[in-house]
Amino acid sequence: MLRSSRRSQQGTSLLDVTVSMAVAAAMTVACLAQWDTSSAELAVAHHEIRGSLEQAFSLARARGTNVTVALGQASGAGEHLRVQLPRRIRWGKPAQIPLPPDMDEPSVATRTGEAHPILTVTPRHTALASTWFLNDGREALCMRLSGQGKLQVLRWRRDRQKWVRA
């Protein structure tokens, strides 16, 4: 009896720890192999654009002048905030992805992703309305900026085959 209680108090062996770590490593490799990094890159692009617009509105209000936000390869005269996107993210909507519900066919934005590559925001929190698309080849974002400066972001979810709010 004394022997069995002594054995249970000794703890785990090196073999137990090694086997546990091997199982954890195998599970990690399996999870990472299935992790969709492009999905994360679309989320980064979404937050980069949203953050740039919020910063532009704050700067416009503080300075009392218009501020521009350059999307993609756009460039323009004067001072503007430049949006940097992950390298796997492309402008435009792939042909296999339908337009969001209740959206008329935007000829330029659908093809190239950019309706207005330079957005101007004002101190009064207004902007030139615009729509643009970003994609990773499988999923897409549709970003709509209203004239009142409200940004609506929809995401095409290929697993659900529908647009959802992002």
- What's the confidence (pLDDT) of residue 3? 56
Element (H, E) at 108: helix 107-112
- What's the confidence (pLDDT) of residue 113? 53
- What's the confidence (pLDDT) of residue 18? 80
Give the pTM: 0.67
Both tokens of 163, joined, read 């647009």
- What's the confidence (pLDDT) of residue 26? 76
Residue with tokens 């030139």: 128
Q: What is the pLDDT of residues 84-120, one digit of tens each?
A: 888 888 888 888 999 998 887 766 555 555 555 678 8
* Contacts for 134 with CB less than 8 Å, ≥ 6 apart: 42, 45, 46, 85, 89, 90, 91, 113, 140, 141, 143
Q: What is the pLDDT of residues 13-43, one digit of tens each?
A: 777 778 777 777 777 776 655 555 557 899 9
Both tokens of 89, joined, read 């993210």
The residue that leads in pLDDT, 58 or 10, is 58
Element (H, E) at 132: strand 130-135
Decide: 109 and 101 in contact? Cβ < 8 Å.
no
- What's the confidence (pLDDT) of residue 57? 92
- What's the confidence (pLDDT) of residue 165? 92
CA-to-CA distance for 22 and 115, rounded, in angstroms?
A: 51
Average pLDDT score over residue span 36-63: 85
